[in-house]
Amino acid sequence: MPLLSNVTTNSVLSGPLPRLGQISFINCLPVVLPIEKGQVELPAQTYYASPAELNKAYSGGNLDLGAMSSFYYLERSGLELITDLSISSDGPVGSVLFFSRVAPHKLNGARIAAPASSATSVNLLRVLLLEQLNVRPEIVIENEPSLDNPKTAGALLIGDRALAFDGDWANKYWRADLGQWWRIQTGLPMVFGLWAARNDWAARNQQQFQAVAAALRSARDYGLNSLLPLVVNEATNRTALPQSRLQRYYQAELNFQLTQKHHDGLQLFRELCQHHGLLAAPKK
């Protein structure tokens, strides 16, 4: 995993810079771009990768803190959350989309293609199908899920690819935005990603942990306000999507808070995953 940025720490902090993981999708641009543009000083070395790649790095002890899928957080003990920061939705999320050739109640035992890059979204789809329809499909992991194979009944798309394919696929297939589906069923936000640190590192480096947490929250505030035009421009350059679509994505679909309602939604997701045998006791 390449080191893409190495930011000098404030002089008040001592010791080696912490190794911070950041998700490489455009959903994190409001947090990432203000730091890259020098508006916020981040006392960390930053590594960019997919959620699945970052999860492996945390498990291997190669990263100290950073963004991670909420399912990974629920699977593990020994993680300390960064407060008031998440990747969530409180309605449609726009970038976690399920498409099906058939009505969802016909998907029991059917083949569904899903990405390896987000365990949260895959297990959210399983939970929603089981809870609402008592449907348990066969989920097959693919690098780039598609419906090109006639034996594949459905496909789960996440992140930048979901945004790119939505306009075309929504006209061809049954479509569900999983953020919206979760909100309708539960009345709660869906937390897709979190920022957290390994407890052992945070306990030894509490000053650095708090400095990084404050920098990330500050970056989020800049990225969703005064620097939002830069965020939208960068997202447009990366995806070629219309600015109006990306403006809606950042202002009306994504949510970067972590309120009590978000914690309630996360806890309900934990309980449902446990109920359906998708989540074991947390690993250390």
Say whether both 7 and 83 belong to one domain. yes
CATH, residue 76: 3.40.190.10
pLDDT at 62: 95
- Contact present, 98 and 226 (Cβ < 8 Å): no
Alpha-carbon distance of 278 to 263, in angstroms, equals: 19
DSSP assignment of 21-70 equals: EEE-SGGGHHHHHHHHTTSS---SEEEEE-HHHHHHHHHTT--SEEEEEH
Mean pLDDT for the chain overall: 93
- Single residue among 134, 154, 186 that ends a domain in this structure: 186
For 174-199, the pLDDT digits (tens) are: 999 999 999 999 999 999 999 999 99
Joined together, the tokens standing for residue 115 give 């990405």
Alpha-carbon distance of 87 to 192, in angstroms, equals: 6
Joined together, the tokens standing for residue 127 give 């939970």
- Per-residue confidence band for 280, with pLDDT thresholds at 50, 70 and 90: confident
Does residue 37 lie within any of the structural domains?
Answer: yes
- Per-residue confidence band for 7, with pLDDT thresholds at 50, 70 and 90: very low
Helix, strand or coil, per DSSP, at residue 273 = helix
Alpha-carbon distance of 244 to 248, in angstroms, equals: 6
For the chain, what is the largest distance between any 2 Cα atoms, rounded to a whole number of angstroms? 61
Does residue 149 lie within any of the structural domains?
Answer: yes
- Contact present, 75 and 283 (Cβ < 8 Å): yes
Exposed e or buried b per residue across 153-177, where buried means at least 16 C-beta atoms within 10 angstroms of its C-beta: bbbbbbbbbbbebbeebeeebbebb
- Single residue among 129, 152, 186 that ends a domain in this structure: 186
Please indicate, yes or no, whether the overall pTM of this predicted structure exceeds 0.85. Answer: yes
pLDDT at 52: 86
Does residue 209 lie within any of the structural domains?
Answer: yes
For 21-34, the pLDDT digits (tens) are: 999 999 999 999 99
pLDDT at 14: 52
Domain that holds residue 142: 96-186
Does residue 282 lie within any of the structural domains?
Answer: no
Say whether both 100 and 181 belong to one domain. yes
Say whether both 182 and 109 belong to one domain. yes
Say whether both 81 and 198 belong to one domain. yes
For 79-127, the pLDDT digits (tens) are: 999 999 999 999 999 999 999 999 999 999 999 999 988 899 999 999 9
For 138-156, the pLDDT digits (tens) are: 999 998 999 999 999 999 9
- Single residue among 153, 186, 219 that ends a domain in this structure: 186
Joined together, the tokens standing for residue 51 give 């959620």
Does residue 33 lie within any of the structural domains?
Answer: yes
